[in-house]
Amino acid sequence: MADDRNESIEARFVSARESPSELASQRLLGATLAALTGRESARLRVGRYVLLGELGRGGQGTVWEAEDPRINRLVALKFVQDRFKGTKTSWLRHEAQTLAGLHHENIVEVFDIGEHEGRPYVVMERLHGECLGTFARQPRRERDLLAALVAAGRGLAAAHEAGVIHGDFKPSNVMVCDCLLYTSPSPRDRQKSR
């Protein structure tokens, strides 16, 4: 396992030299120190969460895989873009609170919110799957694609009923996981529905 970790660190170091974000650079340094010293405490922590690697990046933010060591669970941390750093983010807190109380099989579960160096983040369940765009481009039965689209619609409808309007609903913001589809809200153009 240590060899796998070192290879992973080396691969991330090569890619980090190309276009590192501040958070990615900090995480890489922590992972390198942890590998060299054997001290897990050197890994980059955001609140109580230990960053493991970047999962994706979009126009609204970056999603990282992280571990919650208190309960030994993998989670996803979604950080809003740097342009939101230091701005009023009460909308994000309100949205996270609303979604945290909303339990639906087609909506990603929200566990926590926080702030790291002025950048707000949302802690969500770690999903395994692929975005709807990738899913739709692969050869598959029409009924499977239709089932994914219907599930996306159900998740979107449930969010709307709870007062959350998804301001950036598109295939790259929808995950298809184990024949269930989850939507990930983006932190932009939010409105309350009445």
| Measured distance CA(148)–CA(154) in Å, rounded | 10
Q: Are 24 and 15 in contact (CB under 8 A)?
A: no
User: Which stretch, 92-96, 106-110, 114-118, has highest mean pLDDT?
Assistant: 106-110
* Mean pLDDT value of segment 167-192: 63
Closest CA to 136 of 181, 77, 84, 185: 181
* Mean pLDDT value of segment 118-140: 91
* pLDDT above 50 for 10: no
Q: Is 112 a catalytic residue?
A: no
Report pLDDT for 43. 66
Amino acid, res. 55: L
Prediction pTM value? 0.68
In this prediction, what percent of the chain has a pLDDT beyond 70? 65
Q: Are 95 and 183 in contact (CB under 8 A)?
A: no
Catalytic residue among 4, 144, 168, 178: 168
Which carries the bigger pLDDT value, residue 179 or residue 58? 58
| Measured distance CA(44)–CA(13) in Å, rounded | 15
**Torsion, CA 127, CA 130, CA 131, CA 134, rounded to 10:** 180
User: Which stretch, 35-49, 63-77, 160-174, has highest mean pLDDT?
Assistant: 63-77
Report pLDDT for 28. 66
Strands (E), 88-129: 110-116, 119-125
Least confident of 27-31, 119-123, 160-164: 27-31
What are phi and psi for residue 76, nearest 5 degrees?
A: -120, 130
Positive or negative: CA dihedral 78, 80, 82, 86: negative
Reduced to 3 states, what is the DSSP secondary structure of residue 123? strand
* Mean pLDDT value of segment 27-51: 67
Q: At which residue do the structure tokens 């970047």 appear?
A: 54
